[in-house]
């Protein structure tokens, strides 16, 4: 029997064990508001589909609630929540943030959820925890427009906030060692030419990214997610991670081209739209084409981002089964 870890390690080494690994992840709206609800929903999703790792997907506010943000569930099909209260209004507010205790409040509840999930699924299923980049967290603390305004009006003030966010996030990443996680899913939303040029991102993004990834260096399964379009793939491809995931069916580079630019494995191959609105045959056709283009090596089959909460079960099963016939 090939273990899930062995299968993933083979993909990272550009080899094939028995088959390519496969994974999908989704939000669990309302359930994700308690530690037990999130853990149980994630465990049931894994039990249904037997993916090669679990990416625990809390609401994006989990790392911000202890700073005072508020959000609500309004029915978005992706499963995300709408922010109803921000805590950054003026440039001076960035300096008022405090370093959070990783074992208290909402962060502590997230650790509790991971502990429950680990107890349920056992030691053989790799688990990675969602970690948002400091700029991503800053966006949700202030709102995207206000963040960009403050970066132009008072960049050093924002940098003070990014430093505090980074310190809090590093402490949380290190605290995950006590939960026996296997890595982090590092979500980067601003390594994009829609927000910055490379020089600006090297100031406001990359240094903080690297410090958080340094805190995760003890883990063996760190996955970088580059969100959105016009991504700075060349810049982010130098990050010390084992797997890179992006919207490969929608933006450049292609999955094949991306694999040539990194070490380790790429993750993707199927459009989220196909998974949500297509047929099982269409899902398997995209999956087969992606795996064939890479000769099944250096790839984790999945989608470019979190899947919709309304994606049909039969389509999810079709993607999961595609690796068995590749």
Query: Tens of pLDDT along 137-170?
Result: 999 999 999 999 999 999 999 999 999 999 999 9
Ranges in the chain, pLDDT < 50:
none
Q: What's residue 155's pLDDT?
A: 98
pLDDT value at residue 326: 67
Q: Where are the beta strands (DSSP E) in the chain?
A: 54-56, 70-72, 82-85, 127-132, 183-188, 223-226, 243-246, 265-270, 299-303
SS3 172: helix
At 270 the pLDDT is 98
Distance set, CA 235 to CA 24, 129, 209, 242, 262 (Å): 26, 23, 12, 16, 11
Pairing assessment for the beta strands 54-56 and 82-85 based on DSSP bridges? unpaired
Cis peptide before 253 (omega within 30 of 0): yes
- Tell me, yes or no, if the pTM score tops 0.95: yes
- pLDDT score for 228: 97
pLDDT reported for residue 1:
86
CA angle 39, 168, 121 (to 5 degrees): 20
> Could you give all domains of the chain from N- to C-terminal order, each with its CATH number?
4-322 (3.20.20.210)
- What pLDDT is attached to residue 325? 79
């Amino acid at each position: 029997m090939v273990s899930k870890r062995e299968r993933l390690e083979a993909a990272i080494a550009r080899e094939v064990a028995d088959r390519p690994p496969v994974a999908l992840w989704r939000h669990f709206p309302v359930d994700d508001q308690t530690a037990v609800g999130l853990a149980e929903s994630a465990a049931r999703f894994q039990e249904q589909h037997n993916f090669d790792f679990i990416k625990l997907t809390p609401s994006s506010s989990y790392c911000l609630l202890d700073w005072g943000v508020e959000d609500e569930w309004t029915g978005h099909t992706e499963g995300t929540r709408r922010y109803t209260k921000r805590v950054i209004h003026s440039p001076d507010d960035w300096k008022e943030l405090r370093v959070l205790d990783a074992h208290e409040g909402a962060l502590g509840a997230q650790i509790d959820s991971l502990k429950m999930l680990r107890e349920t699924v056992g030691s053989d299923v790799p688990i990675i925890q969602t970690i948002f980049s400091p700029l991503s967290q800053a966006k949700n603390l202030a709102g995207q427009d206000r963040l960009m305004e403050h970066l132009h009006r008072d960049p050093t003030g924002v940098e003070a906030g990014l430093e505090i966010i980074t310190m809090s996030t590093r402490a949380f990443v290190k605290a995950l060692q006590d939960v026996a996680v296997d890595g982090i899913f590092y979500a980067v939303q601003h390594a994009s030419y829609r927000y910055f040029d490379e020089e600006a991102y090297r100031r406001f993004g990359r240094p903080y990214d690297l410090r958080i990834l340094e805190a995760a260096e003890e883990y063996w399964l760190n996955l970088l997610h580059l969100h959105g379009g016009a991504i700075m793939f060349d810049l982010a491809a130098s990050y010390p991670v084992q797997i890179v995931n992006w919207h490969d069916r929608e933006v450049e580079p292609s999955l094949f081209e991306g694999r040539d630019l990194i070490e380790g494995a790429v993750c993707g191959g199927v459009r989220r739209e196909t998974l949500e609105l297509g047929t099982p045959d269409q899902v398997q056709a995209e999956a087969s084409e992606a795996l064939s283009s890479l000769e099944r090596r250096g790839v984790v089959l999945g989608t470019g981002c979190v899947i919709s909460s309304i994606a049909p079960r039969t389509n999810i099963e079709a993607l999961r089964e595609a690796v068995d016939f590749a």
